[in-house]
Every structure is written in structure tokens, then in C-alpha cells.
Amino acid sequence: MSQNNAAEGRGSSAKNSLDMKTLFVRSIPFEATDEELTNYFSELAPIKHAVIVKDNEKNSRGFGFVSFAVEDDTKDALEKARKTKFKGRLLRVDIAKRRERSKGDQRSSSSSEQAGNVENKENELMGGKPKLIIRNMPWSVRKPEQLKQIFMRFGTVVEAKIPKKPDGKLCGFAFVTMKKLAACKKAIEDSKDLKIDGRQVAVDFAIQKNKWEDYKKENVAEKVESESESESEIDKQEAGEEGSSNEASEAEDEDNENGSEDEDSDANSEEDEEMDSEEEEDQSPGSQNWPKPNKHEQLSVFVRNVPYDATQESLEEHFGKFGPVKYALPVQDKETGLAKGSAFVVFKSKDAFDECVNNAPASGTTSLLMSDDVPYRYVYEGRILSIAPALDRETAGRFAERNASKRKEAFGKAPTAKDKRNLYLLNEGRITEGSKLAQLLTAKDMEIRESSYKLRVEQLKKNPSLHLSLTRLAIRNLPRAMTDKALKALARKAIVEFAKEVNLHMRHPLSKEEIQRSTREKYKFMDEDEIAARKKKDKKQGVVRQAKVIMEVKGSSVGRSRGYGFVEFRDHKAALMGLRWLNAHEVTKPELLEGLDDEEKKAVDTEGLTRRRLCVEFAIENANVVKRRRDATKNMRESSKRKLEEAGDEKTEQENQKKAKTDSNAKKPSKSGVDDNIKRLIGFKRKRKQARK
């Protein structure tokens, strides 16, 4: 019994000797800076600050400290830092030791004095300004108003700032100024687990940069003093960290069983540490959990349609909804280093793996962008994830070749060629069996839609001049009583209803790529002046440019509707919203009469109205016709502009001639050649002489 108590006492004392909110980092490259170390650990977990210890000549000593606000963040960063490289090399990361004192009284008294000094120092650093700094900010938050809404619950917010770099990119942190200091303290205490747009942030007091540098140097000096009072103390720290790191890592990672062997390999010289060989990577701490090249994990899945800005942390958090995740790796291009839009996710348990794979949507439906048919767990930032069990390299290669040949056969182009004809929009509006919309349609409707899809593919394959419009929709299965006005009113209603359903979380919003694509294509052939004029014009005009129902023509008279029409929207974004709401929509009687006056409503024949669900697709256009139309519009615009300029010049010239004629008449002398003023003066003098006589 006494032995157990003694063991517990030793364990608790060993744990108390560790600072669970600070990491001791070694093997730091000598050229690394504090900012680079801060950026590296900020990607792993929200940090308070990071510093590299320097000698008297301001040169790096190869080790440093990283402080966190929460112990859980320290553990996460410890585990991840042992698996990832910093400037091409693996760091040696352990929980830092607390500073030891020789006497208990000195320890208690000095700690109280230190707490008082820290409190006074913080008040001095604040400078009377209750200001907060929020680190690890998500890139999606760009407006200060968003931050104000979040921090208003802690107190009155005076100001919020989100700094940007010279190139316009966000810095990754923000500042919030509160009215009272108590509100700042409340915000720090209550926001330890605060997440903004799914990303955990770190909130702390903000101080002036020069004061912070001085304050940081003082803290570093104290830590260096505690860790390096002599060279033997540093050696003791490096050697002693073996036991403490093993105790900490056992609680976090049960696979790290070779701590002593790793520490023996870490005891090599600096030259050996700088070598970036495979052998050294295999011996580095935590390398057992990191996937080796070309290694096939048993419980791994391959994920497609991943946003390019997805990170390892965000993917691990998202797939954690299925169960514990071992790791998640976004795939990057070897040559460019850019994301390829796919990722590998490895689960720790078979139950989580089966839950993710068995309930995943079929691979053929995810490319249709029908996000309303998919559970939220399979939608990441508005994009439907395509999930399949990961294959070994040989099998994956065979599948890639087969899929490439299928794409080439379907679209009549090389699989690596750039899609300039917008063929990816073929799947927009397509309804497959098993989806929610398919349950609303009859078997005959499904057959008609599928045959129409195959016909469109065949047309695009035969004629390379054809392409899919980004803003024009083809709508079939219209009621015969539908008019142009009613169709235009229905298209406007589709945009409004789509936005309402997104706000009510009944429908997924458009993705970032779709919005960026819309903006890019909208101003593709315009200069700066034309873009400014277009933006001004869009504010005055509606979201629907044109709506037309195709009618039967018999001689000189117009017959009834053919049951299909076209709607052109202002931009691609509006067209996507309209298509996704209108597709498979059942037109009602009030919608047929919407936008019509009383006389037009009387003329509409609504008797025998059958229940029809619309079939909506992006319209096929001929590139040559579109180019001629665009050139004609441009020439007409330039011609009208030139006529206005000529008319203005002619009007100005006429006004100048009229003004010159008026001035010449005013200054024209009399027949005698004497000015009128002189004549009046002479007449006045003559009258005065006559009066004297």
C-alpha cells in the first residue's frame, strides 16, 4: 500500500514539475526566426506566443519555447509537431519543465511576487486600452462587423480590425477593442473553446509591439535562466526530457513505445541532426504514427472534390463526425506544391471507417452537385465529397486509366485538356435514380430526362463549336398557358426562394469556386470603365435579363406555346440559383398569373392545367453565333457612343457660333464711327451750354 502511495506521489510530483501549457522545442534551424516558429505552431494549434532563445550576440541557440492558453492545445501541438517538418527538418518537442527553487518558502514567496509583477506588468503593457488580439483567425472572416457580432456578448465593442498584408491577403489575426477592461477579461475567460467558422481561435490581451518585445525578452531571460543556469543544466534538461516526454506522450499516444531509443538517436551531434535522410526520419520521435511513402493503410478512405484551401486540421475535424481520425492528408502536386482537390483520411476504428464508407453517396451522384440530397456530414464548405475506400497504387493506376478513357470517349477531348466549353455543366440539373428529386418524378419523366442528357452529350461531341452557356437556361415541360411575363416572374421568384431556403438551412449555398467563377466570367471581355458602368447598370436592372416562351408559328399568326422556353440571368451565380430551385418544380396556378395585369389574366386559359414538373438545364449555344452577337453589340455600343460625341461636338460648335455672333453685335460701332458713350457726353455738354445762354 505504501509502495503504491509512493508511486502515486512520484507520478504527481513529476507531473507538477512540468509546465503543461509550454513546449520546449529543440533542433530548431539556426536561420529560423521567431515569426516563422510562430507561424509554424499556429497551424497546429492556437498559441499565445513563441520565442527562440538567443545568445548575447542575438544568434539563435537552436532551441526555444512555445506557450499555449489551454493544455489540450499543448498536447495537440506536441503530437502534430513530432510528425511534421519545420524548414525541412523534424523538431524535438517536449513538455517544458517548470523552474525549480531550492527552498519551498522561496518558491511560494517568489511565485506570489512573480504573480504580482506579472499583473502590474500586464496593466502597464495594456496602457489603459482594453484591447484583445484574436489569433488563428479563419480566412472566411473578412469584415470587422462579423467580429463585432461575436464579441458583443462579452460587452460593448468599440472597434474591430482585421489586418491585411500588402498583397491583400489576411494576416491570420485580428484586434477587438472593448469599452471596459472587465469585458476583455470576461472575453478571455469565456472564449477558451471559442470557434469562429469551425476554427478554434486564441484570445488574449493586445499590447504595443515594442513593449511586447521587451516583455518577451524578460520572460525569455527568466526561462533561459531556469533552463540554462549552467551548461550542465541544459544537458540535464535535454537528457531529463526523455522521461518527462515519455510520461506526457504515453497519455496522448500509446504507439510511442521507443522513447529511449529515439532519445539515444537524438543525442547525436548538430551535423547529424541537420541531415535530412530517410533513416533519421524513421528514428525521429513519433515517426511510427506518420504514414510512410506509398504505404497503404487498412482503414483509409480517398476523398475527392475537396476545396483547395482545406487543411489537415479542418479535414480531421470534419471527418471526426464519423469517429476518431488517425490523420488526414490533403494531396498536393509534387511539382507545384499546390493542392489537387483530394485527400486521404485514415480512421482509428473499423466502425468509424464503415460508417463513413457505407453511408457515402454513390460516386456517380456527387458530381451532379445535388447537395440537398446528401447528408451534411458528406458536404464540406458547400461541396459534396466523393468518398471511396483507398486503393493500393497498382489498382488506383488501373482505375485512373479506365476513367480517363471514359471521359475522353464521353466528351471527345483529352482528359488533361482545359474545359473551355463548360462541359461540366452537363450534370447540373440531371436527376439520377435514388435521389430525393427522383422520388417526385414518374418513370416516364426520368426516361425522358436521361434520353435528353444523352442527346446533349452527343451534340456536344459532334460539334466542337457548341458549348454550354453560363447564364442562359433551357426550360422544358412548361404549361401551355405560360407566358413570357409569367416565366420572368417565376425566374425572379426562384432567386428569392433559393436565398430564403439557404438562410433557413434547408438548402446548401453556392460554393466559393462557383461565386468566383461567376465574377470572373461576368467581366471577362470588359475594361475597367466598362466594368464600372456594368456594376452601375446592374443596380438599376433586375436579376433576370430575358425570358422567352417559344410559340408555334402558323403563317403570319402566332399559335400556342411549344412547351419550352429560355431564361437569361444577369450572371452565372444567379443562373445556378435559378436552376437548382426551378428544376423539378411544379408550376402552380398563381405562378401562371404572376406578373400579369387584369386583362392578361383573363386571356390566360388555366382550364385543364396538368401537374408538370419543369426540366431545367443550361442551354447549348454556338460559339460562332455568340461571338457575332457580342461583336455586333460592341459595335452598336461604340457607334452610339461615337454619335453622342459627334452630336455633342456639333451642339457645342453651334452654341459657340451663336455666342460669338451676339458678342459681335454688342461691340459693333455706329455709322459715324463714334461710340454711344461719347455721343451722350457730347449731348450733355451741348445742353449745358445752351442753358447758360
3-state secondary structure of 517: helix
pLDDT beyond 80 at 125: no
Position 103 scores a pLDDT of: 43
130 burial via Cβ count (<10 Å: 0-12, 13-18, 19+):
buried
- 359-398 pLDDT per residue, tens: 887 655 444 444 556 777 888 887 888 898 888 777 767 7
pLDDT band per the 50, 70, 90 thresholds, residue 615: very high
Alpha helices in 382-466 (DSSP H): 393-411, 443-462
Q: Do domains 300-411 and 423-629 have the same CATH topology?
A: yes
Percent of the chain with pLDDT over 90: 13
User: Where in the chain are the domains?
Assistant: 18-97+217-282, 128-206, 300-411, 423-629
- Average pLDDT of the chain is 75
- 642-663 pLDDT per residue, tens: 887 777 777 777 777 777 666 6
Residues 593 and 570: their CA atoms lie apart, in Å, by 24
Element (H, E) at 133: strand 131-135
Instruction: Choose among 457, 448, 400: nearest CA to 424.
Output: 457
Instruction: Tell me how crowded residue 684 is: count the other CB atoms within 10 A of its CB.
Output: 9
Residues 36 and 313: their CA atoms lie apart, in Å, by 19
Q: What is the grid cell recorded at 247?
A: 510520461
Position 621 scores a pLDDT of: 92
Instruction: Choose among 466, 500, 495: nearest CA to 624.
Output: 466
In CATH, which superfamily holds the domain spanning 128-206? RRM (RNA recognition motif) domain (3.30.70.330)
Q: What is the grid cell recorded at 405?
A: 478513357
Q: What is the grid cell recorded at 341?
A: 482537390
DSSP annotation of 672 reads T
Residues 313 and 191: their CA atoms lie apart, in Å, by 20
- 181-213 pLDDT per residue, tens: 888 888 888 887 788 887 888 888 876 555 555
Percent of the chain with pLDDT over 70: 71
C-alpha R_g of the chain: 37
Backbone dihedral angles phi then psi of residue 83, each to the nearest 5 degrees: -110, -20
* Residues found in the chain: 693
First to last CA, the chain: 153
Contact between 89 and 26 under an 8 Å Cβ cutoff? The reply is no
- Amino acid identity of 351? D
**Under CATH, to which class is 300-411 assigned?**
alpha beta
Percent of residues in the chain assigned helix, strand, coil, to nearest 5 = 50, 20, 30
Residues 489 and 596: their CA atoms lie apart, in Å, by 9
pLDDT beyond 50 at 234: no
pLDDT beyond 70 at 357: yes
Contacts of 340 (CB under 8 A, 6+ apart): 331, 332, 333
- 307-353 pLDDT per residue, tens: 888 888 889 989 998 999 988 989 887 766 678 889 999 999 989 99
CATH of domain 18-97+217-282: 3.30.70.330
Position 185 scores a pLDDT of: 84
Instruction: Tell me how crowded residue 476 is: count the other CB atoms within 10 A of its CB.
Output: 16
- Cα 103 to Cα 15, 125, 230, 236, 430: the distances in Å are 19, 31, 19, 20, 77
- Cα 419 to Cα 239, 272, 643: the distances in Å are 59, 50, 40
Residues 83 and 534: their CA atoms lie apart, in Å, by 51
3-state secondary structure of 43: coil
In CATH, which superfamily holds the domain spanning 423-629? RRM (RNA recognition motif) domain (3.30.70.330)
- 487-529 pLDDT per residue, tens: 999 999 999 999 999 999 888 888 888 888 888 888 776 778 7
Q: What is the grid cell recorded at 652?
A: 457645342
